Amino acid sequence: MKKIIMAVPLVEMDGDEMTRVLWKLIKDKLILPYVDLKTEYYDLGLQNRNSTQDRVTTQAANATKKYGVAVKCATITPNKQRMEEYPELTEMWKSPNATIRGILDGTVFRAPIITGNIKPTVRTWEKPITIARHAYGDVYKAAELITGEPGECTLTFRGESGAKQSISVAKVGGSAVWLGQHNTDESIRSFARACFQYALDTTQDLWFSTKDTISKVYDGHFKDVFETEFEAYRIRFEAAGIEFFYTLIDDAVARVVRSKGGFIWACKNYDGDVMSDMVSSAFGSLAMMTSVLVSPDGHYEFEAAHGTVTRHYYKFLRGERTSTNPVATIFAWTGALKKRGELDKLDDLQDFACRLEAASLNTLRDGVMTSDLASLVDDGTAVRAVDSWEFIGEIAKRL
Ligand code: NAP
Ligand code: MG
């Protein structure tokens, strides 16, 4: 068979543990036989991040800016326990995702992969609900304080011009806790643009919610920035037949649960953290959730929403064939190949990615699946739980 030719390389970021094992398997069995794969390869596995002083992560992010599209395998974010597990680590390296987000300045969009025979807990949901999570600031970059006596707390801003703004937070009669949080106009603006762009790319309505009735200045400012930025997109939204609307977060929650799905829900950082876990578990499994980082300049980084599946990796090291679900990682590849095909006008590359997605979904619809999904099927399909190798082999047959 003549292989599909690519024009511009994909930025390929390899990763760790079980997902690294699946990464190679997916490439060998599902992609390389059909595509003359062009990638610029970066090994983001923990050992290589350590031996390059984590420069490889920055290089990979910069390459994404150069080429526009990346596909990333899950990676270990070292913590104290990992420092003991990998004694050769010279530093507790930062989360690669945080480094990449910092360089690309993006918004993370997470959407469930729907099969039909795995029914969402919310019966009305027919189409995916995509969560767009602002990935900077608020409570994730807050200053916190605990105090032990009566007194007053104030919030002061000192401008570089020398101007000063100060307000009283509260006077308290005893011990208390305090929190100061912030966001920047630049970050909120790029969040808004990424959401508008993604809504246009995927032809879906965009909802945005905050609590601006209570937080009139802070959340009110998010709302204002979105409304101002929307003016540059309004005509394109009308032409695409999609809408943008703002509503209070409590109203949004009620509407989401009553909806049929099929829209993007833009959330502030904390809301997005919580709501994406709610949406993914209500749809079935974290292993069936795709994730893409979209930068305001239109750069894309595709990945699975789950981690490196450590528990399975240790079983694999003991010689066991695990039943680890590769679907979200396959969809990271297909998402990246489709985007590459779209940008380079390569119809056969896009078509191949669609066929690989269809082959994966059809395998699941036929009842052949990894064991995490087997218990979720409730439409009477006869289920055969298989290991990752057999599962990928079944996808290859259908492909
Ligand atoms: P995890 O790798 O997502 O796994 C947590 C559990 O979820 C697994 O033990 C497994 O449950 C289930 N699971 C997740 N993905 C699965 C899949 N594809 N197939 C089947 N089951 C799946 O999260 P973690 O154990 O908290 O984190 C492990 C490492 O991943 C950490 O070092 C963390 O830093 C890293 N991480 C990386 C990313 C990223 O690169 N984007 C994201 C999150 C975490 P059972 O064990 O019950 O089968
Ligand atoms: Mg979370």
Report the separation in Å between the CA atom of 289 and the middle of ligand 2, taken as the mean of its atom positions: 13
Among all bound ligands, the one having the nearest atom to the CA of 267 is 2
- Asked if 140 contacts 270 with a C-beta cutoff of 8 angstroms, the reply is yes
Residues 6+ apart with CB under 8 A from 303: 71, 72, 73, 74, 97, 290, 291, 292, 293, 332
- Which residue's C-alpha comes closest to atom 5 of ligand 1? 309
Report the separation in Å between the CA atom of 306 and the middle of ligand 1, taken as the mean of its atom positions: 5
DSSP sequence for 71-131: EE-------HHHHHH-TT-SS-PPPHHHHHHHHHT-EEEEEE---SSB--SSTT--S-EEE
Report the separation in Å between the CA atom of 273 and the middle of ligand 2, taken as the mean of its atom positions: 5
Around ligand 1, the residues with Cβ closer than 6 Å are 74-77, 97, 286-287, 303, 306-311, 324-325, 372
Atom number in ligand 1 closest to CA 77: 34
- Taking the CA atoms of residue 19, residue 42, residue 108 and residue 258 in that order, the dihedral angle to the nearest 10 degrees is -30
- Regions of the chain short of the pLDDT cut 50: none
Atom number in ligand 1 closest to CA 291: 41
- Which residue's C-alpha comes closest to atom 39 of ligand 1? 74
The pLDDT of residue 18 is: 98
Among all bound ligands, the one having the nearest atom to the CA of 311 is 1
Q: Identify which of 231, 258, 387 has the alpha carbon closest to the alpha carbon of residue 316.
A: 387
Exposed e or buried b per residue across 60-76, where buried means at least 16 C-beta atoms within 10 angstroms of its C-beta: bbebbeebbbbbbbbbb
Which residue from 301, 309, 376 has its CB within 8 A of the most atoms of ligand 1, so it is best to mutate?
309
Which residue from 306, 316, 376 has its CB within 8 A of the most atoms of ligand 1, so it is best to mutate?
306
What is the Cα–Cα distance from 137 to 181, expressed in whole angstroms? 7
Report the separation in Å between the CA atom of 277 and the middle of ligand 2, taken as the mean of its atom positions: 6
- Asked if 118 contacts 377 with a C-beta cutoff of 8 angstroms, the reply is yes
145-199: pLDDT as tens digits: 999 999 999 999 999 999 999 999 999 999 999 999 999 999 999 999 999 999 9
The pLDDT of residue 135 is: 81
The pLDDT of residue 276 is: 87
Residue by residue, what is the 3-state secondary structure of 32-43? CCCEECCEEEEE
In DSSP terms, 41 is beta-bridged to 12
The pLDDT of residue 28 is: 98
Question: How many CB atoms are located within 10 Å of the residue 306 CB?
Answer: 20
Report the separation in Å between the CA atom of 324 and the middle of ligand 1, taken as the mean of its atom positions: 10
Atom number in ligand 1 closest to CA 75: 40
Q: What is the pTM of this model?
A: 0.88
- Which residue's C-alpha comes closest to atom 21 of ligand 1? 324
The Cα-based distances of 267 to 222, 253, 272 in angstroms read: 10, 11, 5
The pLDDT of residue 318 is: 97
55-72: pLDDT as tens digits: 999 999 999 999 999 999
Q: What is the largest CA-CA distance in the chain?
A: 78
N- to C-terminal Cα distance for the chain? 14
Label the pairing between strands 368-369 and 164-172. Answer: unpaired
Atom number in ligand 1 closest to CA 96: 40
- Asked if 141 contacts 182 with a C-beta cutoff of 8 angstroms, the reply is yes
Residue by residue, what is the 3-state secondary structure of 118-176? ECCCCCCCCCCEEEEEECCCHHHHCEEEEECCCEEEEEEEECCCCCEEEEEEEEECCCE
